[in-house]
Chain A
Amino acid sequence: MVPRMNTIQTFIPLQVFDLLDGSSTDDPAKNYLASQLNYKPAPSWSDTSDHNMLRYNKASRNVHNYFNAVYVDDHASVQNECTYVIRFLRENAINDTMIGTTSLNVIVSREGSVISPLRANLHAAPFGSSAGQYYGATEAVSTHLNVSANRVNEPPEYGIINRLLSMEPMPDFEDGVSNAFSEGIEYVVKEFGNDGVGALEERLVATDDLSCVAEALRTLGLMDDVKTAERRFRTLVMLLKHRSPIVRDAAAIGLAYLDDQRAIPAINEAIETEPLSFLRSDMEAIREQLAHR
């Protein structure tokens, strides 16, 4: 049962799993943790009376201990990977289930350390502040460490996509050069198939970060994955009608990469409604390319 949840102040995104068996309520058969570097099963203990519900074992570099717990004032190294694992011991709060993506108010220091969530929340220091700038905190952890209720049971692909869209720093996008963002998009599609593309489409429609949308669409067109080609095609066609020329341009490029002649009617329609002459010309060139593939 999930009790009342507070708003979370986000600095870096984290993903929460059941560390006992790595399972999810959505997909109990899948062990999300087994693929983590150095993963070892967590000890089967849960001290729900423990106020320091995030305890950090400095001595161990095992994933399950990495963020299993963080004591106030302790620093933990941060790896660049998207996934961080946290063990919530309060079964009464989250019932030890795998929770899609949530965010904790954790700050990353210049040296790449995670400051305890409690301190991060209290001082709200900006990303990139040095560890020495944090001061004493007295509030109870439980008032700060909450999980957004509407994220419970959200499929994991949404969490990964959210993290990709909030990546800091966002890489520079250059055609022909893959980057952490585009590789993440590719991972989501290959790992979650059509569901991954669907989740991506949902998020891309909702976000205002047009350069990310454009990069994602180019990636959807460029990637090599037969199983999802049809679904990716539909997403690209849909976003040909986006309000932003940046997105329309990228959707057309994505369709050119897919090299599927079935896109021609949609491109014709886009040409008819495209208000920008240079985009119309580009789309005409793409139509020409598809017609003579």
Chain B
Amino acid sequence: VPYLLRKIRRSKWFATLDWLSPNELQADALGDIRTQNNELSVWLVPDDKSNVAEVVAALSLSADQVSIVEYALIGLDIVSEKGFEVAENPGQTPFTAANHWHRDLVKLSVGKVVELCELVKQAQKERCRDREALNYMAQALGSGAVDVSKISGKLQQSLTKKGVLHNPPATAR
């Protein structure tokens, strides 16, 4: 079953805080599924998870620091069963070759967001270490499918310092 990948911060989903009732979630978790225009950005991942490296690279190249990437993998079948509408909107990341994996959950109501909370809570959550993320970024850059001008200046500096990016453009976004 394919998945929808959503970048999260896993600790926001910890259900082990002393003040938190069992089966409850921290309210901070809502920050991980903040919608814009009633839509939520996700990434399609095939059942063999073969494109996770590309998606992580796309997410990392959109950030401004090399860091860990934590994400939830929600079964696409469950999402469909729950009546979520998925739109094939291409991503806008610097990694142009990965942008076709991007999707949006659209027409989200408050009720749907609450349902989504439950789905993320139950979802498989994984962490890609910063070193791996850096490798994935290096691979992406090596493929020539990255629009370097769309990488933040801060990240360009960092990647240059780490020897992953050579000759960054003079103008950074």
* Choice from A218, A246, A256, A289 contacting B14 with Cβ under 8 Å: A246
Contact B65 A177 (CB under 8 A): yes
A176 to B128: give the CA distance in the assembly, Å: 12
**Interchain residue pairs A-B with the least CB separation, the first 9:** A176-B63, A176-B67, A172-B31, A246-B11, A175-B67, A249-B11, A176-B65, A177-B63, A178-B64
Contact A253 B68 (CB under 8 A): yes
A253 to B12: give the CA distance in the assembly, Å: 14
A176 to B7: give the CA distance in the assembly, Å: 11
Nearest Cβ on chain A to B25's Cβ, whole angstroms: 13
* Choice from A176, A178, A276 contacting B16 with Cβ under 8 Å: A276
> B34 near A: Cβ within 8 Å?
yes
| Chain B, Cβ-Cβ closest to A174 | B9
Nearest Cβ on chain A to B31's Cβ, whole angstroms: 4
> B66 near A: Cβ within 8 Å?
yes
How big is chain A's contact interface, by range? 20 to 34
Provide 28 A-B residue pairs closer than 8 Å at the C-beta atoms, listed in order of the A residue. A172-B31, A172-B34, A173-B31, A174-B63, A175-B9, A175-B67, A175-B68, A175-B69, A175-B70, A176-B59, A176-B64, A176-B65, A176-B67, A176-B133, A177-B63, A178-B154, A211-B28, A214-B11, A245-B14, A245-B17, A246-B11, A249-B11, A249-B14, A250-B11, A256-B129, A257-B67, A285-B129, A289-B129
> B82 near A: Cβ within 8 Å?
no
> A222 near B: Cβ within 8 Å?
yes
Contact B11 A176 (CB under 8 A): no
How big is chain B's contact interface, by range? 20 to 34
> A176-B69, A211-B12 are contacts. A289–B131 as well, Cβ < 8 Å?
yes
Within 8 A of B (CB), among A252-293: 253, 256-257, 276, 282, 285, 289
> A244 near B: Cβ within 8 Å?
yes
A222 to B60: give the CA distance in the assembly, Å: 15
* Choice from A174, A177, A245 contacting B11 with Cβ under 8 Å: A245
A244 to B16: give the CA distance in the assembly, Å: 9
B130 neighbours in A (Cβ, 8 Å): 256-257
Contact B16 A245 (CB under 8 A): yes
* Choice from A174, A249, A250, A257 contacting B7 with Cβ under 8 Å: A174
Within 8 A of A (CB), among B66-118: 66-70
> B150 near A: Cβ within 8 Å?
no
A289 to B31: give the CA distance in the assembly, Å: 29
B133 neighbours in A (Cβ, 8 Å): 176
A245 neighbours in B (Cβ, 8 Å): 11, 14, 16-17
